[in-house]
């Protein structure tokens, strides 16, 4: 994210120093700060991609299972499965020695995305669950308890919040050229995140919104509060910045405050809800550092104020303090999957769904 020296992003210019002709059409090559969260969100912020990975956690392996759970067009599903295989999140395996057909299985990197899903889910459960409560209850098989995963410091295993952590440049800090297509790519329709099962992860990703909204949230964590500063940090068109800021205020992530009367000027600060996105963001950062950072290493290093040590964010069970993994977690569904047109595809250790299940949640 932010570093000390040279917080400059430049749009490549022609020899005459003017913006290249392509700039206006959004094809200029842009240098952007290396950021493992942005890299991870580059994968998850595509609604279809996210939904396919989520169904895999629910046990889907075969093309037709994904297709019937999500109702995706065939060509879209083929494209997403292909891309996820190229990205190393799925690997293909034949049904059997004699079969030509393949299953899609999560690789180690795919399985390790699971804690990020849980961190996003916890945020959604806290802030976005409706009157019926969170859609899923989690059962940690390791300690056989109802569990609320938390994002914790790898050194002291205590929960980490934005206030209790500092950051500095890591060996991978710097800038990379972003392919214009990636930067300009329109996000998928955010409402698609809500397809199929009710999900706090979907709610959270829909709230974070597109890549621009996320980058604004990131800058807010780094202390940028004012329009001009955000604009110069992100090289973002002012109409897009106004639009995204208005949306982030409406959704309750940012609060708008007047800091000057004549002329009237406003700044944008993270609300308590906005600050609570810190956990999911650093969980995604940890995954990006591990699987997507270049050979130099992580762009950012975090230090936990409470224990004074550098740390890697870990998603752990609040009861037994052990890291959570998909094979150790069971679910109770707080909804009937039939209500959402999704056939129930429970994972191998999922607890059977019960309509309006009453749960005894330990204090």
In terms of CB distance, is 91 or 319 closer to Zn ion? 319
What is the rounded CA–CA span in Å between residue 315 and residue 1?
Answer: 21
Size of the site for Zn ion (CB under 5 A): 11
> In which region does residue 324 sit, left (phi positive, over 0), alpha (psi from -120 to 50) or beta (all else)?
beta
Q: Is 155 in the site for Zn ion (CB under 5 A)?
A: yes
Q: How far apart are CA 210 and CA 218, in angstroms?
A: 13
Nearer to Zn ion, 151 or 254 (CB): 151
Question: In terms of DSSP bridges, do strands 136-140 and 145-146 run parallel, antiparallel, or are they unpaired?
Answer: antiparallel
Taking the C-alpha atoms of residue 124 and residue 199, their distance in angstroms, rounded to an integer, is 8
Q: Which of 154, 142, 113 is nearest to 319 (CA)?
A: 142
Q: Are 125 and 199 in contact (CB under 8 A)?
A: no
Q: Does residue 263 have a cis peptide bond before it, meaning omega lies within 30 degrees of 0?
A: yes
Task: Considering the complex, state which of residue 237 and residue 361 has its C-beta at the smaller distance from Zn ion.
Answer: 361
Stretch that binds Zn ion, among 60-68, 87-95, 269-277, 297-305 (CB under 5 A): 297-305
Identify whether the C-beta of residue 104 lies closer than 8 Å to the C-beta of residue 77.
no
Q: Which is nearer to Zn ion, 150 or 253 (CB)?
A: 150
- Contact with Zn ion (CB under 5 A): which of 319, 344, 346, 357? 319
Residues 6+ apart with CB under 8 A from 78: none
The correct pick among 129, 143, 162, 240 for binding Zn ion (CB under 5 A) is 143
- Rounded CA-CA distance 83/100 in Å is 20
Cα gap 32→126, rounded to integer Å: 32
Q: Is 304 in the site for Zn ion (CB under 5 A)?
A: yes
Identified binder of Zn ion from the candidate list 146, 194, 320, 357, rule CB under 5 A: 320
**Contacting range for Zn ion; rule: CB under 5 A; set: 80-88, 132-140, 293-301, 353-361:** 132-140
Q: Which is nearer to Zn ion, 140 or 218 (CB)?
A: 140
Residues in CB range of 264: below 8 A, 6 or more apart: 258
Rank residues 292 and 307 by Cβ distance to Zn ion and give the closer one: 307
Question: Quick one: which segment of 55-63, 151-159, 230-238, 253-261 binds Zn ion (CB under 5 A)?
Answer: 151-159
Q: How far is the CB of 41 from Zn ion (least distance, A)?
A: 25
Question: Sign of dihedral through CA atoms 128, 47, 89, 345?
Answer: positive
| Closest separation in Å from C-beta 301 to Zn ion | 14
Q: What is the largest CA-CA distance in the chain?
A: 77
Residue closer to Zn ion by CB (options 103, 310) is 310
Q: Under DSSP, is residue 227 helix (H, G, I), strand (E, B) or coil?
A: helix
Q: Which helix (H) or strand (E) holds 316?
A: strand 313-317
307 binds Zn ion (CB under 5 A): yes
- Give residue for tokens 């060509």: 75
Q: Is 314 in the site for Zn ion (CB under 5 A)?
A: no
Residues facing residue 330 across a β-bridge = 139
137 binds Zn ion (CB under 5 A): no
Binding mask 9-28 for Zn ion (x = CB under 5 A): --------------------
Q: Which stretch binds Zn ion (CB under 5 A): 12-20, 136-144, 204-212, 346-354?
A: 136-144
The nearer residue to Zn ion, 150 or 230, going by C-beta atoms, is 150
Is 153 a binder of Zn ion (CB under 5 A)?
yes
Q: Which is nearer to Zn ion, 47 or 153 (CB)?
A: 153
Which residues make up the interface to Zn ion (CB under 5 A)?
A: 140, 142-143, 153, 155-156, 304, 307, 317, 319-320
């Amino acid at each position: 994210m932010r570093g000390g020296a040279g917080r400059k992003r430049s749009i490549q210019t022609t020899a005459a120093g003017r913006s290249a002709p392509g700039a206006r059409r959004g094809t200029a090559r842009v240098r952007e700060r290396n950021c493992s969260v942005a890299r991870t969100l580059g994968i998850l912020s595509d609604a279809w991609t996210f939904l396919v990975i989520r169904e895999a956690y629910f046990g889907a392996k075969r093309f037709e299972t994904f297709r019937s759970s999500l109702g995706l067009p065939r060509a879209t599903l083929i494209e997403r499965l292909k891309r996820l295989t190229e990205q190393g999140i799925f690997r293909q395996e034949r049904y059997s020695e004699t079969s030509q057909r393949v299953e899609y299985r999560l690789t180690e990197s795919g399985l390790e995305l699971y804690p990020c899903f849980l961190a996003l889910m916890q945020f959604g459960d806290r802030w976005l669950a409706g009157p019926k409560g969170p859609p899923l209850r989690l059962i940690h098989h390791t300690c056989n308890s109802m569990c609320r995963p938390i994002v914790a410091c790898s050194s002291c295993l205590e929960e980490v919040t934005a206030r209790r952590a500092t950051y500095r440049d890591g060996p991978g800090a710097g800038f990379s050229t972003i392919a214009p297509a990636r930067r300009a790519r329109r996000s998928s329709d955010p409402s698609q995140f809500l397809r199929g099962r009710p999900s706090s992860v979907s709610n959270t990703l829909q709230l974070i919104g597109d890549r621009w909204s996320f980058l604004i949230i990131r800058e807010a964590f780094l202390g940028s509060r004012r329009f001009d500063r955000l604009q110069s940090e992100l090289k973002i068109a002012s109409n897009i910045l106004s639009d995204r800021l208005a949306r982030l205020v409406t959704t309750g992530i940012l609060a708008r405050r007047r800091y000057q009367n004549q002329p009237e000027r406003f700044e944008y600060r993270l609300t308590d809800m906005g600050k609570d996105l810190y956990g999911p963001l650093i969980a995604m950062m940890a995954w990006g550092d591990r699987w997507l950072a270049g050979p130099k290493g992580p762009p950012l290093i975090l230090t936990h104020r409470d224990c004074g040590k550098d740390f890697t964010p870990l998603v752990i069970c609040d009861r037994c303090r052990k890291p959570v993994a998909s094979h150790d977690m069971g679910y109770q569904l707080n909804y009937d999957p039939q209500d959402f047109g999704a056939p129930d595809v429970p994972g191998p250790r999922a607890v059977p769904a019960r309509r309006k299940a009453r749960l005894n949640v330990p204090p």
